[in-house]
Amino acid sequence: MPKGFIVAIDGTAGSGKSTTARKAAEILGFFYLDTGAMYRAITWKIIKSKIDLCDSDSLKELVAKTKIDFNKENKIRLDGKEVSEQIRRPAVDRMVSQVSVLPLVRKKMVVEQKRFAKNRNVICEGRDIGSVVFPHANLKLYLDCDLKERAKRRAKELKEKGIKVTAKEIKENFYERDYIDSTRAHSPLKKMPDAIYLDTTNLTIENEVKIVIDLIKAKFKIRKLTTKIPTPGVYRAKRDKQPKTIKK
């Protein structure tokens, strides 16, 4: 398999992007680039530093001195320390979209993301992967899911980790994040015309992973598709499908 094959996965918060991308990458032997974790890591640092997001000088200095990378287990490290658990805390959930919208933060992250992907087969997920980071990706996907179902899944996930957050709180947070991400002036969340739309509402993670892997294999022309596509309306591989605009 040649190097330099890039899969760009964008989509709404909690739609299954991270888990699907990670599992598909593990199976195929690709590098999984979790850009969301990168933004969460710098958000965690800002929270710890107690820097006001309006203090541009302090933010610029913090961003310049921040080092983000991944260890051998592909867990994210912030300034040399693994922070994969800390970045999933509710405090980060509440603030990450506000940090991600900052141009100076996005500029640094995009440069780092391109560096991580150089000369690798990569599955990368985020909000502006197919539009800004890798506009010429070999395969582009846009994952979406019913808001109520997304909140339900995340509440279950956090409960298993001992974190108490109600589905209602998560739903409100997801709504806010989707609104901020899709309406920001710089690198907004949007489905690109050449991206395949995948509605994950009625899919299990296993279904999602199989679909993504088969789409990648189809691009590589390794073998015929083996996935049994779910009923119409669940898996929508349509290039003209656009997500609903979020309004406040």
More confident residue, 165 or 227: 165
Residue type at 233 in one-letter notation: G
Task: Give the angle 118-96-99 at the CA atoms, nearest 5°.
Answer: 80
Give residue 93's domain range: 6-220
In-domain check, residue 230: no
Mean of pLDDT values over 101-110: 93
In a domain, 76, yes or no: yes
Asked whether residue 231 is assigned to any structural domain, the reply reads: no
- If one counts every other C-beta atom within 10 angstroms of the C-beta of residue 231, the result is 7
In a domain, 186, yes or no: yes
What pLDDT, in 10s, does the model give residues 61-72? Answer: 999 999 999 998
Q: Is residue 75 part of a domain?
A: yes
Return the CATH number at 87.
3.40.50.300
Residue 2 confidence class, pLDDT cut points 50, 70, 90? low
pLDDT of residue 1: 56
- Sheet of 6-11: strand order equals 31-34, 122-126, 6-11, 139-144, 196-199
- Average pLDDT of the chain is 87
The whole-number pLDDT of residue 219 equals 86
Using a pLDDT cut of 70, give the percent of the chain over it. 88
In a domain, 234, yes or no: no
Residue 56 lies in a domain: yes
In the prediction, which pLDDT does 224 show? Answer: 43
**pLDDT at position 230 over 50:** no
Q: Do the domain assignments include residue 242?
A: no
Inform me whether the pLDDT recorded for 28 exceeds 50: yes
pLDDT band with cut points at 50, 70 and 90 for residue 225: very low
Name, in order, each residue with C-beta under 8 angstroms of 142's C-beta and a sequence gap of 6 or more.
9, 10, 11, 130, 191, 192, 195, 196, 197, 198, 243
Query: What pLDDT shows up at residue 68?
Result: 96
Tens-place pLDDT, residues 179-207? 988 998 888 999 999 999 999 999 999 99
The gap between the terminal CA atoms of the chain, to the nearest Å, is 46
Q: Kindly report, residue by residue over 142-153, the tens digit of the pLDDT.
A: 999 999 999 999
Number of domains in the chain: 1
Q: Residue 174 pLDDT > 50, yes or no?
A: yes
